[in-house]
Structure 1
Amino acid sequence: MAHVLSPNVLIRKLQNISDLTQSDIAILEGIPLSKRECRANEDIVREGERPTHSFVVLEGLVGSTKLTGDGKRQITSFFVPGDIPDLHGMHLSVLDCTFSSLARASLGFMRHDAMRAICDRHASIAAIFWRSTLIDAAIYREWVTNVGRRDAYTRMAHILCELIVRLHSMGVIKDHVANLPVTQAALADALGLSTVHVNRVLQELRRNGLIFTEGTRFHAVDWAGLVRAGDFDATYLHQRTAITF
């Protein structure tokens, strides 16, 4: 069943990265979408598919993934509420990666033909979507640097800083405390580490007084220390308002 997009996380996300006029907001709110609930670890769209929709994450956590020939998984980005992970699929005939829910997720699917028609009529909306995909590309570049040139301890601190900033901008985090239902296996696949190594690094971050975890509850106890440990600079997220804690 199709619904009309009401004021929601998509509007907030785009306001974080672009100047939206009231006209822009009204147009975005008018985009019809179909809602879908996903279990954890469920493929949403798969590599090789020819999608007719793009989706926005309404709740939960989604990852873009690639598999090697021998079945090893690399997570190439995390997507939080407000993100449109496969927006580029509107212009590519076939997907070159798989998008999977990493936790229970609520998604809203938007038809490509409707989105293209809106972009054709409204240059400002096309520019907003273009900016969003450029920022996704900036995040990919930072992840390549993280996995390729930082040690395991710094990698982990960096990815935690990124998640905190992105979730904070969406109002999901307060006082450095969040529910992060991401498994150690997913962190391992995102950071190019084994799950055993992930566990050791998380323990080291705890021992150093930077983080506290209890189940899926995550607390950045020493935010400044975590930023230093992660060699983290949020510039690549291109958010309009700097995050201050």
Structure 2
Amino acid sequence: MPSRGLPYLLLLPATVFLAVFFLYPFTQIAWEAFSGPGGVTLSHFATMVNYWKFPAALENTLLLAVAVVPLQTAMALAMAVLVSKLEKGRDLILYIFTIPLGISDLAAGLIWFAIFQQTGFLNSALHALGVVHTPVIWLGYQSKWVIFLAVMLAEIWRATAIMLVIIVAGMGLIPKEYGEAAEVFGAGPWQRFRRVTLPLLRPSLQTALILRTILAFEVFAEVAALGGTNLPVLMGETFHWQFDLQDGHTAAAFAIVILAISIGFTLLYLRLLRVPKGAGI
């Protein structure tokens, strides 16, 4: 008969890991953000809010997440359905789709920088087609919308595979009998996907959306590679205050804001994609 304490013993390594690598750093960051010479203070948050780049950084971060995550969700679902329908070459296609997953954020940013820079592939292709006669400065400070689009493309190209892997795993847990039964009753492919697959994918979609949205709020390397300081984002300003301005208190305030936004969206996803009790597959 297994010991009653065995489950807690098995959870101990994960608990220690979270305590050392999450709770302890979080406590330090929270103390940095709220502490001052006279004790607890909100002055560091006031410094952050009054910083002239803060509104733009907050807006750009939210816009990137709102623009990228829905597109990635739709693409990951379409790719997962395609992979699940294949009888031959499934593993190969899945492997090809997930290749960008092994590329770092900075490397992805540099790859797309090589496309958009003055001597890059885009200008070369347009010149060969006769569309432009001189190189276009795509990533200049006056073309912030192009930088935004380039960061979007880099994020979509690199990180869609994160959602794809989770969704494919979720589809693998759905019994085929459900779809076959719906087909017998006359449901078409779209109806089976909407009425059978999507509801049963809620747990996987919940996980994929939470993970991807949190990572979207932490976008930094692609922005640094493609736009530098021309496209301020929250994580970039956190880095700026911590390492350039040597102000750890304000940097911690930025980190707390990123964490608060992530928690807010996580709770929203948990609410919207709530799995009814006892509705497991």
TM-score by length of structure 2 reads: 0.25
Which structure has the highest strand share of the two? 1
Which structure has the highest helix share of the two? 2
Greater gyration radius: 2
Structure with the greater relative contact order (CA < 8 A, sep ≥ 6): 1 or 2? 2
